[in-house]
């Protein structure tokens, strides 16, 4: 058996735990302290998010579900190749439970599309559940699940020959800061050809009270979802966050269209992270910024497409104009 040395240790793979530790070390050393929302989605976080999507205040999921139901025929036609028998991959970033995607998948199968579904998610448990449900509900559908983050999924997409339709539903694009969003879309467009299609969900700007309530529900499920990030750090990095001294806070700024979520330290405290052999000081009412969720307008989307070398082929929206699924292709 070959043993590693200091010389070749840089060749060893970096584990997901090491990446999380590096992120925490950097994020909790900043001012203000910050942690990425991508780390919400361990198995417990994914289960909590399933509960959030069913809450009465959380309109995005049911709105996009209704949108896809109403427009599935037109959306399916826009995504698949013009040649009816040409095979293609339907690759979904952040697939989750696939509840909304099944609307499209069912329609595509019923209309004879030669489609292979490639769901991508950071949670293996979420993908296992999705694959099991697809085997039961759509047994004729070829499925190739991939446990990966978005960066790895983009690399995978670049390596796959053949026609692709890429889904990024649920307004996940809103979690990126504006500069990050532009870089992500440019990276997403790079491996695509003008024959490929990209469908992205965008939550539109609306009554600020409606938006805020969606991220601070009366049952406290969203609070548990946010606080679960600290539970994860305790479990995976040996941190000693005492959840009785932390609370969830969120607000919506209609000036820039951003929902911002925070974890708030309710007293002065020191948190130790054993995996880092490091301690972090928190003042009373100091925050950790955990999530952004930007809301959009049509002019913002037009500008975003133009800056990303994409063109918007079609818009599909709901009857309240709360949400839009936009279909793009790459400008050749």
**SS3 string of 79-96?**
HCCCCCCCCEEEEEECCC
Residue 204 is given by DSSP the state B
CA distance 291 to 214: 14
pLDDT in tens, 201-230: 999 999 999 999 999 999 999 999 999 999
pLDDT in tens, 268-319: 999 999 999 999 999 999 999 999 999 999 999 999 999 999 999 999 999 9
User: How distant is the alpha carbon of residue 28 from its chain centre?
Assistant: 22
Average pLDDT over residues 71-98: 91
pLDDT at 157: 78
Residue found by looking up tokens 């467009």 in the block: 189
Distance CA 52, CA 60 (A): 10
Higher pLDDT, 16 or 147: 147
Residues 6+ apart with CB under 8 A from 203: 60, 171, 174, 293, 295, 296, 322, 323
301 contacts 314 by C-beta, under 8 angstroms? no
> Which residues, other chains included, contact 243 with Cβ-Cβ below 8 Å and sequence gap of 6+?
227, 230, 231
| Tokens encoding 156 | 């995978």
State how beta strands 33-34 and 287-294 pair.
parallel
Burial class (CB in 10 A: 0-12, 13-18, 19+), 30: exposed
Query: In whole angstroms, what is the distance from residue 322 CA to residue 11 CA?
Result: 48
Query: According to the model, what pLDDT value does residue 5 have?
Result: 29
Write the pLDDT tens digit of every residue in 119-162.
998 888 889 999 999 999 999 999 999 988 887 887 887 787 88
The CA distance from 115 to 249, in Å, is: 42
In 3D, which of 103, 102, 101 has the Cα closest to residue 72? Answer: 103
Query: Quick one: pLDDT at residue 50?
Result: 87
**Strand 269-273 versus strand 323-330 pairing type:** unpaired
SS3 7: coil
189 vs 194: CA distance, rounded Å: 10
Beta strands in 227-309 (DSSP E): 246-253, 258-265, 269-273, 278-282, 287-294
Q: Does residue 164 register a pLDDT over 50?
A: yes
In whole angstroms, what is the distance from residue 172 CA to residue 35 CA? 17
- Within a 10 A sphere around the Cβ of 178, how many other Cβ atoms? 13
Does position 1 have pLDDT exceeding 70, yes or no?
no
pLDDT tier, 15 (very low <50, low <70, confident <90, very high otherwise): low
């Amino acid at each position: 058996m070959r043993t590693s040395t200091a010389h070749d240790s840089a060749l060893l793979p970096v584990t997901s735990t090491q990446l999380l530790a590096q992120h925490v070390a950097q994020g909790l050393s900043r001012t203000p302290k910050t942690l990425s929302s991508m780390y919400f989605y361990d198995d417990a976080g994914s289960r909590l998010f399933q509960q959030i999507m069913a809450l009465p205040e959380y309109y995005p999921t049911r709105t996009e579900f209704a949108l896809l139901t109403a427009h599935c025929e037109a959306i399916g036609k826009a995504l698949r190749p013009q040649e009816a028998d040409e095979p293609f991959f339907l690759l979904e970033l952040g697939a989750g439970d696939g509840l909304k995607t099944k609307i499209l998948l069912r329609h595509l199968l019923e209309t004879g599309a030669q489609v292979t579904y490639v769901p991508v998610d950071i949670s293996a448990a979420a993908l296992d559940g999705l694959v099991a449900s697809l085997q039961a509900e759509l047994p004729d559908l070829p499925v190739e699940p991939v446990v990966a983050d978005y960066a790895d999924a983009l690399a995978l997409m670049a390596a796959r020959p053949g026609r692709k339709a890429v889904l990024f539903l649920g307004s996940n694009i809103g979690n990126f800061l504006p500069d990050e969003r532009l870089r992500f879309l440019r990276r997403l467009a790079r491996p695509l050809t003008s024959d490929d299609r990209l469908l992205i969900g965008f939550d539109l700007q609306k009554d600020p009270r409606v938006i805020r309530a969606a991220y601070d529900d009366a049952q406290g499920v969203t609070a548990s979802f946010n606080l679960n990030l600290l539970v994860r750090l305790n479990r995976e990095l040996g941190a000693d966050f005492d959840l009785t001294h932390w609370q969830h806070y969120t607000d919506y700024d209609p000036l820039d269209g951003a929902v911002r979520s925070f974890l708030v330290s309710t007293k002065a405290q020191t948190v130790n992270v054993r995996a880092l052999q490091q301690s972090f000081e928190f003042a009373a009412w100091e925050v950790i910024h955990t999530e952004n969720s930007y809301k959009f307008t049509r002019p913002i989307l037009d500008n975003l497409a133009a800056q990303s070398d994409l063109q918007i082929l079609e818009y599909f929206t709901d009857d309240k104009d709360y949400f839009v699924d936009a279909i793009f292709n790459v400008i050749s």
